[in-house]
Every structure is written in structure tokens, then in C-alpha cells.
Structure 1
Amino acid sequence: MDITRQSSGNMPSVDRISSLTDGVLCHILSFLPTKISVATSILARRWRFLWAYVPSLDFDCRNHDTDTKFAHIVNRVLLLRGVQSIITFRLRYDDIDCSDCLLPQCLFTCKTLVDLRLHFRNCIPSNGVVSLPSLKKLHIYGVENGLRRMLSGCPVLEELIIDQIDEDDLDFYDVIISSPTITRLIMISFQIYSDESYSREYGVKINVPALRYLQVEGCLSKEISAQLTTSLTEANISFKKDNEILREDYFVDKTYNEMEEGYSSFELNFVDSLCNVKSLKLSSGKRFSVEEFRGQSKSIIRFDHLTRLDLAVDWLFLTKFFERADNLQVLIIREVDARLKCWMEEPKQVPKCLLSHLGTVRIYQFECAEDEFKLVRYILRNAQVLKRMEIHFKCYDICLKTNAIQRIFLFERGSEACELAFK
């Protein structure tokens, strides 16, 4: 950092950084990793203890040679500066074994802490009081028995992110997330399998009545339930496995047996519990069984608030939402395995959303399969107020694409204002 400006002519140099107040300097240091913030103590006498007043601590083991050395530094810094004025605390470990790093109990009773991020397991103390009256954001890696106690000590918590959950973190059956104040909940990689030595599955239970945004990725729990209210406006749900979540081509390696795995009643009921959302993104590599689909057809759950739907699932879900989401305006259909692209014109009557609300449809990874043409033809013929349909081709064969475009242009359109776009 160049803290001076060279003089011009006979004008003396000016140290503009040192002319700033301590409060401004601490604010600047709060944007730096703690290792760099502490390193500024060698600049001058004034800077020697300035880092100790920075309200943000950010530790990352990737900046250190060994975990033992890193743990010593974390504990040393906390000891030297205290935690009374901490607003943000981040601690990241790449190695799961971080038993050398023992966070002081006073960190969990800090009155000023607003943002707490702990990226390693066993981060919540097994005993002692948890009282974080100002904490609004909590991001933890893994879940242990202390989760419920942790949440009960955060009376104003607004955002909770739980990353990487598996049965090794648990010595009880259910993960229970309960809070009257959380408005944003993200759960990633819930690798919770059945335990063959017991008669039931691990479960995930969500009770967050003020929730507005929910994201669940890679949840393998057979039992998942949620008590949600009309406050929920957006949900992003993925029933894919952990290593499939971010892969565009995750269906390529999927075996037939994996595809045969159907939805559990808990999963289908969980989707129905999202009935008040306005925007829903749903992803899964599973397929409906005949019994499951018949059971869903008898359900009376409606999605009357849903206006935007983003699907990467068995196309039988389309029938479900067409019949129950009367106010649907935007439909996005993403890539799924060919065996999940089974379109049947099930509705005996044209769904209300097609007659009066559906204005935009986007279909990605179009492969020119016959079921895809059936779906496009059905929507074009019945969507009375459709303004735009976009079709994004997966194939690069010019002749195949040209023939597909010509065929689609000949389909009957229920909306004369509909614009077709091909990409």
C-alpha cells in the first residue's frame, strides 16, 4: 500500500492515509482478511494495535501452512482483542479435523455480533449459554446437536445457511430447524440416508413461519416436512444428489435403476407445502410411478399465487402445475433425461393458466424428440395470451434444427400475438 504521494517541485509529500481517523481506518481494514489486517501493525506505531479494533474477523486456513498453526493464530487473535465489538466473524477450515481450534465461549454470548460464519464441523459448543441478541446471519458447515440450542439463542436471526449435512454429524434422528424470525433459509447437501439398524429414516423438519425464501439442494432425506405460511414467496428445491447439483450433464451417467427411484410421499407433500410461493424452481432426477401420479391427481392442493415456474423434473409435473396454478405467467423447462420427457395431454379441459395468464415459455436443451414437439404443439395451440416462446436447441445439426423450426412454425397458435424465437 502506497500511503504517500510524492512531492511536486518543493511541495512536501502528503500522507493521506494517516490523516484519516481511527474509525475510518478500522472500517477499511474490515474489508481485508484478518491475516492482512494484523500485518498492518508493522507500518508505524499508530498502526500497531489498530487491527484489534476492527469489528470484522475473517480467518481462512488456506492462507496458512498447517491446521495446528492456524488454530493457534485464531485462538491468539481472539485472546488479544476480545470479542466485545465483533460484528462479523468468519472462520473457514478445509480440513474436517479442526479439534485444535477451540472457540471461546464468549464468542457465543457476544452482544454486537451480526454475521457469524463457521465453515467447519463441531463449531457449536457442546455446553454453555448461547446468547447472540444481535445476530442476523448465521452460516454453518454441518449440523450437530447444538443446532436447536444455537437457534434458540438468536432471537433476531434473519438468514440461516446450513452446508453439508450427513448422518455422521448426527446422533439423533431429526434435523429440526425452528425459528420465528428467519426469513431466508438455505440448506445444501443434506446427505441423510436411512440407518439400517433402526426402523425409520432420518428426517428434516422445518418450522419457520416468517420465511420468504427457501433453498434446498441435494436433500436425500426420505422424510422432509415444512410448516410454512403465506409469507414464503420464492423457493428453489433440488432433490438431486450432491455431485449432481452443479452439473449441466448430470443425467448422462445416470443408470436406469437410479432413474427408477420414485418420489416418497414426504417429498411430494413437501412440494405441496410450497403452495403459497410466487416463484418456484424444482429439480429432480426421479420419475413418477403410475401410483404416485394418480395420487397427485387426487390432491386438492392449489398453487394460486404461483406466477413463475422453473422445472427440471419429470414432465408429469407439468400436468400437475397446469391444473393447479391458474395464475402462472412464466414457464421455464430445463433439461432432463429423455425418459422424463413423457408428455401426455392429460388435462380434459384447457387449464385456466393457459387461457388467461401464461405469457412466456422458455424451453432449454431441445433435442427434437417427438414428446418435445407434442409439448410445444399443446402449449401453442392452447395458450390464448402467450406472447413469446423461446426454444433453445441442444443439437448443432443445421438440417435438424431447420426442419424442427419449419415444423413448429406450422403448429396452430391460440395467440396471434405469440412470437417464436429459436436459439
Structure 2
Amino acid sequence: DRISELPDPLICRVLYHLPTKDAVRTSVLSTRWRTLWLWVPRLGLNYRVFQKKKMPWLILVTGFFDSDRVRCGVKLRCRFNKGVDYYNSYVTPWIDAAVKRKIQHLDDLIITKWSAYFHGMPLSLYVCETLVSLKLDGVFLRDSEFIYLPSLRILHLISMMNPNEATFERLISSCPVLEELEVDSSLNDDVKVFRVISRSLKRLSVQECMSEVVIDAPRLGFLSIDSSLSGSYMITNTMDTNVKFVIRLGTYFGDFDETSILSNRKRFCNCLSGISKVRDMTILGVGLMVYTMLIPVYITCTYSIMKGYSCLRWLPTILESFPNLKSLTLECDELQLEDMDEINISYVPQCLLSSLEFVDFNVPLSSVVGEMNMVRYILENSAILKKLTLHLHKDCSTNDEMVKKLLKIPRGSTKCEVVFFDWGKK
């Protein structure tokens, strides 16, 4: 056939665009095709997928790791079905073979996810000189006196078990060129503090960490914290102004007693104090309620996106923390109308008077009083506003009486332009 007449590298490019299970199935076509799938530059060895196809998964994977293919820079994804402890005895020999053949990318190594059993980190991974990216899920970080990963740039640790504080700190500090770190759901209550100390780290994402997180990364350009504030975050090395900061808060304070609320506010203040000089900030989630009755932390941020459920009630208090704000995007999918009527319109934050130039009110506007009050508050009090973008509810149109009323609102800035879009379009 014509395809078989093509050179091997070109056939491998064709197989690259197929799911791994289909690429493997081509091995039965002829003797020549038997090993071609091994040379595909990206493979996903998912136990569940191959099990559904009734393929000899164990023989297949063992054959792959025993081949010379691993050394050629393949991007490998390994997923083992939850609860399949039988295959765990093969994991370490497989990984040892990959390290011996100088593997560069081991992504999504998931072992018995959501099982009570966590496979221990193969010690050979701690000293793999060629590894560039490593993404682990459901792995126990075994303690080791010697760790050195001189080429590792990307490290993701999902649902990990950690024996002690020193092991995690040693792992991070032993990656001299690490640029991206993601830590999601540490499951060991005995570890009280996670220390992220790195002189090379550029991107850091921390999600649902129950412990205290101490960050010392002076080259950081992006920081994302996704938390219910059950843990605390301390940034010891003040961030550069060019850092992009994203924080997602998931705590609803109405269900907690006053002591818990005050404790969470204190944690949030400590976190913000370390990023007070950033210019680009995104705040997401119902945890914006943390600002209620909160003493502002002054942040030199000039670009901010705030997303959350019914967050607008606290807008004046929030803006008080951003005296240099130039651009603001507000995003809410739903609004509690009774809260909208409680907006404190008597106080005008400094940024509205001296710096705010662009506002995108990315909320589906209708003709309710609370929404009209918010738009009026921004228009009347923003002294140098250049552009206000409003998004209309699907039941509204630019010819509605509401739009006419909005355009008649007095503007604090003579240069302000009001632009309308349909909700969800721009």
C-alpha cells in the first residue's frame, strides 16, 4: 500500500496525530509496522484505555520500557487505574529503565489515584540528569538524602503524600533551573510548613494546601493561589512589580463564627502584604467577602480582574486597597440583588479620583435598581475614566429604556466613553 512506502519518520508523524491506543494497533499490519509506534514523540499509556480495548497492557508497557525508544526525548504519560495494586510492583522497574535511558519528559504519572495506597517515588527519579518535566499524581515522596535534578524545569505534584517538611524543601532546592511548580492537594496533615525556596522559579501554582506555605522566589513572574484560606501563605521575598498574581478564595464566611472570620482575614492580609507591589492581579471566588470590615492593605496594582459570586457589594472597600488602579474588570455570573442595594456609595476610593481609566463591568445587566446604582457610582465618581464597558442581559437591547437611562447618568470625567455589548460577546 502507499502508506507503507512512506519513510519511517513521516509515518511516525501520522501516528502522532492518533490516540496512542490506535497507534499501537497498527503494529499488527506487518513486521515493519510492529515497532513504528514506539517512535511516536508523544505516548499516553493509560491502563483504563487499553483495558477497554482488551490489549495486553502489561506486556505492551514492559516492552516499551525495555526498548531503546525511551532515550529519544519521548513525552510519556502513564496512568494506572485506581486500586490496581498489582501493577505497582512494576512501576519502579519501569521508571528505573526510563531514567537509565535518559528520559526527558515524564508527564501525568498517576498511580492508584484516590486509593488508600500511594506508590513511593522511585528513587531513580531523584537523580535523573536529563529529566526536563515531571508531573506526578498520587505519589508518596520518599525521603532521600541525595536529590539532584539539574535539567528539571517543570514539576507538578498532585495529591501527594510527603514524609516531612525537609523532603519537599530539599526537592525544590535541588532543581537549580526549575521554572514552573504546581502543588495541588497535599494530603499529609503532619507537614505543617511547605517552603518553596528557589532562585530560578518563574511560575508557581498552589491549590488547596492545608499547611502554611512560605514562598521565597525572587524571580517569580506568576503566582496563583487557589485556597479556602484553611492554610496560610507568607511571601518572604517581596515580589517584583511585573508579577502576575491570581488568587481564588473559596471560603464563605457566613457559615463561620467570628473567630474563624477574623483568623481568615488575618491570613489574607499576610498574603497580600507580600504582593503589595504587583501590577497585575486577579481575585476570584466568593471569598471576596473577606474584605467586609477589613482594614485595607495598600497595593500598587494597576491592572486587576475581580471575579466572583455577588462580589460587588464590597467593591468600594476592595478598591480602597488599590490606590493606583488604572484598569478594572469585574466579572460575576450571578448577583444577589438585595446585596447590590447595600453598596456603600457615600465613600469614594482614591483610585476613582486619580487613576482609574478603564472599567469593564462584565455582568449581565438588566434594569434592576442595584445594577443601575453600581453603574451610576462608577460614572459619577471616576474623575479621569476614559472607557466604561457594559454587557447587556440577553433580554435587553441597545434600544431599551434602561440603556437610555444609563447614557443620561452624569459623568465625573468629560472624556468617558460608554460602550455596550451583548452578554457573552465582545
Deviations 1:60-82 (A, max 9, x none): 125xx962354355345335554
Residue of 82, 104, 107 corresponding to 1:87: 104
CA distance in 2, matches of 1:232, 1:162: 22
Preserved CA contact (<8 Å) 1:40 1:51: no
Question: In the alignment, which residue of structure 2 is the partner of 1:361?
Answer: 360
Of the three residues 71, 88, 91, the one matched with 1:71 is: 88
**Distance verdict in 2 for CA 1:269–1:34, change over 3 Å:** same
Q: Which residue is 1:237 aligned to? A: 247
Residue identity opposite 1:60 in structure 2: R
Alignment deviations for residues 168-200 of structure 1 (CA, whole Å, 9 cap, x no partner): 41313222222222110011223x2xxxxxxxx
- The question of 1:344 aligning with 2:362 is answered no
- Aligned to 2:184, the other structure's residue is in SS state strand
Question: In the alignment, what sits opposite 2:58?
Answer: none
8 Å contact from structure 1 (residues 322, 353) kept in 2: no
What is the aligned partner in structure 1 of residue 40 from structure 2?
none
Distance 2:178 2:388 in 1: 41
Selected match of 2:216 from 207, 210, 213: 207
Match of 2:156 among 127, 139, 142: 139
1:169 aligns with 2:179: no
Alignment map for 1:259-408 (pairs within 5 Å):
262=261, 263-286=264-287, 287-288=289-290, 292-293=293-294, 295-296=295-296, 301-303=298-300, 305-312=301-308, 313=311, 315-322=313-320, 324-334=322-332, 335=334, 337-338=336-337, 341=340, 342-347=342-347, 351-366=350-365, 368-393=367-392, 402-408=400-406
**1:40 positional shift:** 7.1
Q: For residues 301-336 of structure 1, what are the alpha-carbon distances to aligned partners after superposition, in whole Å with 9 as ceiling and x for unaligned? A: 341x42233343464354443563324123324355
Structure with bigger helix share is: 2
2:271 paired with 1:223: no
Deviation at 1:380, TM superposition (A): 1.1
- Which ranges in structure 1 are unaligned for 5 or more consecutive residues? 7-13, 193-201, 242-253
> How many angstroms apart in 2 are the aligned matches of 1:94 and 1:409?
59
Q: Structure 1 residue 157: deviation in Å?
A: 0.7
The CA distance in 2 between the partners of 1:17 and 1:183, in whole Å, is 41
- Output the TM-score relative to the length of structure 2: 0.73
Q: Which residue number corresponds to residue 31 of structure 2?
A: 44
Q: d(CA) in 2 for partners of 1:111 and 1:393?
A: 55
Partner of 2:255: 257
Q: What is the aligned counterpart of 2:171 among 131, 140, 150?
A: 150
* CA distance in 2 between partners of 1:384 and 1:265 (Å): 33
Quick one: which of 184, 187, 198 aligns to 1:179? 198
Q: Which runs of 5+ in 2 are unaligned?
A: 36-66
Partners of 2:173 and 2:347 in 1: how far apart?
Answer: 47
- 2:2 is matched with which residue? 5
Between 1:310-319 and 1:408-417, the stretch displaced more is 310-319
Look up the SS of the partner of 1:134 in the other structure. Answer: coil
Deviation at 1:160, TM superposition (A): 0.3
Q: Name the counterpart of 2:63.
A: none
Shift in alpha-carbon separation, 1:234–1:82, aligned structure 2, 3 A: closer
How far, CA to CA, are the matches of 1:155 and 1:34 in structure 2? 33
Give the deviation of 1:203 after TM superposition.
2.2
Correspondence for 1:419? 418
Change (3 A) 1:377 1:119: same
Does the 8 Å CA contact 1:383/1:415 hold for their aligned counterparts?
no
Instruction: Measure the CA separation in 1 of the matches of 2:126 and 2:14.
Output: 26
The one-letter amino acid paired with 2:274 is S
Give the number of equivalent residue pairs. Answer: 374
Distance 1:47 1:53 in 2: 19
Question: Which amino acid in 1 is paired with 2:155?
Answer: L
Give the Å deviation of 1:35. 7.2
C-alpha RMSD of matched pairs (Å): 3.8
CA distance in 2, matches of 1:133, 1:28: 34
Q: Quick one: structure 1 residues 152 and 302, their matched pair in 2 at CA, closer, same or farther if it must change by over 3 Å?
A: closer
69 and 54 in structure 1: CA distance in 2 versus 1, 3 angstrom threshold:
farther
| Maintained 8 Å contact 1:34/1:59 | no
Cα distance per residue 1:112-160 (max 9 Å; x no partner): 00000001141x2223422101100000113422321211211111100
Aligned partner of residue 264 in structure 1, secondary structure: helix
Could you say which residue in structure 1 is the equivalent of 2:137? 119
Indicate the residue corresponding to 1:60 in structure 2.
79
Q: How does 1:103-118 map to 2 (within 5 A)?
A: 103-118=121-136
Q: Which amino acid aligns with 2:363?
A: Y
Contact 1:116 1:139 in 2 (8 A): yes
Q: Distance in 1 between matches of 2:271 and 2:305?
A: 16
Inter-partner Cα distance in structure 2 for 1:77 and 1:129: 21
| Rounded Cα–Cα distance in structure 1 between residues aligned with 2:86 and 2:327 | 56
| Distance in 1 of aligned mates of 2:353 and 2:256 | 34
